[in-house]
Amino acid sequence: MTPAELAATIDHTILKPEAMAKDVDKVATEALEYKFASVCISPPYVQQVAQKLAGSGVKTCTVIGFPNGTHTPTIKAIEATSTVKHGADEIDIVSFLPNLLALNFEAARDELMEIVRAARAVRNDVVIKVIVESAALVSINKDRAEETIALACRAVRESGCDFIKTSTGFHPAGGAGLEVVGWMKKYGGAAIKVKASGGIRDYATAMKMIEAGADRLGVSASVAIVNEAKTGVAATKPAGGY
Amino acid sequence: MTPAELAATIDHTILKPEAMAKDVDKVATEALEYKFASVCISPPYVQQVAQKLAGSGVKTCTVIGFPNGTHTPTIKAIEATSTVKHGADEIDIVSFLPNLLALNFEAARDELMEIVRAARAVRNDVVIKVIVESAALVSINKDRAEETIALACRAVRESGCDFIKTSTGFHPAGGAGLEVVGWMKKYGGAAIKVKASGGIRDYATAMKMIEAGADRLGVSASVAIVNEAKTGVAATKPAGGY
């Protein structure tokens, strides 16, 4: 995989609640230079980023019900339609975790379908990813971990979403794990793709996630990772954040 | 202050994203027994809790734009009206931090006013608290920390809200600090009250917050704290969580 191919798998991400407009602008500038897949920002910054990226091929990605997922399906649906109207090409929805933890397939699928129908009514080709906070799921449901991830994959698939995504990067249970990425590939099948996110801060980890089956990476340390892919030299300090 | 008076200052809180309906029900049962001021839960649980608490005098409290505050003012306003219609007596809104960090008073006030007008149009006497994630504000704006808190107090006051609240309990910068609570008391004046939250896990800390000026406490370890007030004996293990 060339550095350019690696860059094209990365959603260049800034989601911390204290991110200012100038921080977001810097991330968008980097994305244009490195040709990342997208810039992933909070809803209040969607218009700013969509205007800057217009015509570049770099997509505008945002997050819905982020990071805890603890909003009603209707509020998430309204946030989804609103951000798509404001210019989001891709939306990453945080699932309501209790549905998944209880292995309640219908509730998990129905929540997603309400949001998906609303978003696709605005724009049919919006790319939809579903964050399932997998490290929390497998640590809490530790005796039924694989079953829980399989059920999450089925809910994502049957609701017509495009990706299952491992993590928000904000949960204390942690981010992407290689075993979980493998399960997502196995149970998602050909119908959905896998986005690994949370704790991917260097080139070696990024490549391991791709080898485990990730199609997309959610990363803040994107510039350092692609520079390491180009030069073989790691950044002197590990990059912080998401 | 008697144990009963202390209990009446506490919003008994369960906001972790993996909280299940049965966990929320247990917290509501405890609130009825101990006569806490309110039960503070995520929006999807408002109807369940409001039904259980009906007629008890214990209020139903929920959170808006929680925990990062990174939603547009309009989405927060819709979430506020929706939760009040579902039975919330009190709503704790997370402010969009960049407005406060930039010392942009008009933007901070205007965001709150949009939400307040919407919520009070549904129910005029809804109690509104504004979370400003004060530990993040003072660590990032360290050279203008007191000025930042003063500006936040003014935005809360001039938008007609009832409380300024220190913390979500989810930000890595930390929870309530005694100095910040004192500043909130000083700059909030008689017009607004202060809710201290985040990291209050024992009786001694709770009492220090009240002595510093807190009118309300957001706590998960509420039962342990009130039991310690009654018996003088601390719980054997410090309670985890918010």
Q: B42 and A133 in contact by Cβ < 8 A?
A: no
Q: One of A59, A129, A165, A185 is an active-site residue; which one?
A: A165
**Averaged pLDDT, B22-26:** 98
Cα distance between residue A12 and residue A56, in whole Å = 15
pLDDT (tens digit per residue) in A14-59: 999 999 999 999 999 999 999 999 999 999 999 999 999 999 999 9
Q: What are phi and psi of A4, to 5 degrees?
A: -65, -40
Cα distance between residue B9 and residue B176, in whole Å = 16
Nearest C-alpha neighbor of B33 from the set B14, B52, B61 = B52
Cα distance between residue A107 and residue B103, in whole Å = 42
Provide the number of structural domains found in chain B.
Answer: 1
Q: What is the CATH number of the domain that holds A109?
A: 3.20.20.70
* pLDDT of residue A90 exceeding 80: yes
Query: What ipTM was reported for this prediction?
Result: 0.96
What is the dihedral sign for C-alpha B212, B218, B224, B227?
Answer: positive
Which residue matches tokens 């293990």?
A: B237
What's the whole-model pTM score? 0.97
Average pLDDT value for chain B: 96
Q: Provide the CB-side half-sphere exposure for B101 (13 A, CA).
A: 18
Q: B67 and A66 in contact by Cβ < 8 A?
A: no
| pLDDT greater at residue B163 or residue B240 | B163
Q: B20 and A102 in contact by Cβ < 8 A?
A: yes
Compare CB distances from B18 to A75, A78, A97 and report the shortest one's residue: A97
Nearest C-alpha neighbor of A23 from the set A47, A49, A3, A4 = A49
Query: Which amino acid appears at position A46 of this protein?
Result: V
Q: How confident is the model at residue B238 (pLDDT cuts 50, 70, 90)?
A: low
**Domain presence at residue A172:** yes
Strand partners, B63: B92
* A-interface mutation test, from B45, B63, B68, most A Cβ less than 10 A away: B68
| pLDDT, position A242 | 54
Secondary structure of residue A173 in the 3-state scheme: coil
What is the dihedral sign for C-alpha B192, B136, B80, B24?
Answer: negative
**Domain presence at residue B166:** yes
| pLDDT greater at residue B204 or residue A235 | B204
Q: B82 and A75 in contact by Cβ < 8 A?
A: yes
**Domain presence at residue A242:** no
**Domain presence at residue B12:** yes
Q: One of B59, B76, B129, B165 is an active-site residue; which one?
A: B165
| The two structure tokens encoding residue B16 | 């972790």
Nearest C-alpha neighbor of B62 from the set B50, B70, B71 = B50
**Domain presence at residue B222:** yes
Cα distance between residue B133 and residue B118, in whole Å = 23
pLDDT (tens digit per residue) in B194-217: 999 999 999 999 999 999 999 999
| pLDDT, position A86 | 98
Query: For residue B200, what are the domain limits?
Result: 3-231
Pairing status of strand B38-41 against strand B10-14: parallel
* pLDDT of residue A239 exceeding 60: no
Q: Is B16 an annotated catalytic residue?
A: no
| pLDDT, position A234 | 86
Cα distance between residue B175 and residue B13, in whole Å = 14
Q: Does the beta carbon of A82 lie under 8 angstroms from any beta carbon of chain B?
A: yes
| pLDDT, position A241 | 53
Secondary structure of residue B89 in the 3-state scheme: coil
**Averaged pLDDT, A87-115:** 98
| Choice among A17-21, A224-228, A236-240 with the minimum mean pLDDT | A236-240
Q: Is A89 an annotated catalytic residue?
A: no
**Domain presence at residue B226:** yes
| The two structure tokens encoding residue A162 | 């495009």
**Domain presence at residue B242:** no
Q: How confident is the model at residue B235 (pLDDT cuts 50, 70, 90)?
A: confident
Q: Is A11 an annotated catalytic residue?
A: no
| The two structure tokens encoding residue A36 | 């990342």
Q: Which ranges of B60-103 does DSSP label H, i.e. alpha helix?
A: 73-85, 97-101
* pLDDT of residue A204 exceeding 60: yes
* Å between B97 CA and nearest CA of chain A: 6
Burial class (CB in 10 A: 0-12, 13-18, 19+), B240: exposed
- Whether the Cβ atoms of residue A194 and residue A185 lie closer than 8 Å to each other: yes
pLDDT (tens digit per residue) in B154-178: 999 999 999 999 999 999 999 999 9
pLDDT (tens digit per residue) in A69-85: 999 999 999 999 999 99
Percent of chain A with pLDDT over 90: 95
**Domain presence at residue B237:** no
Cα distance between residue A166 and residue A180, in whole Å = 8
Average pLDDT value for chain A: 96
With contacts defined as CB-CB under 8 Å, which chain A residues touch B101? 18, 20
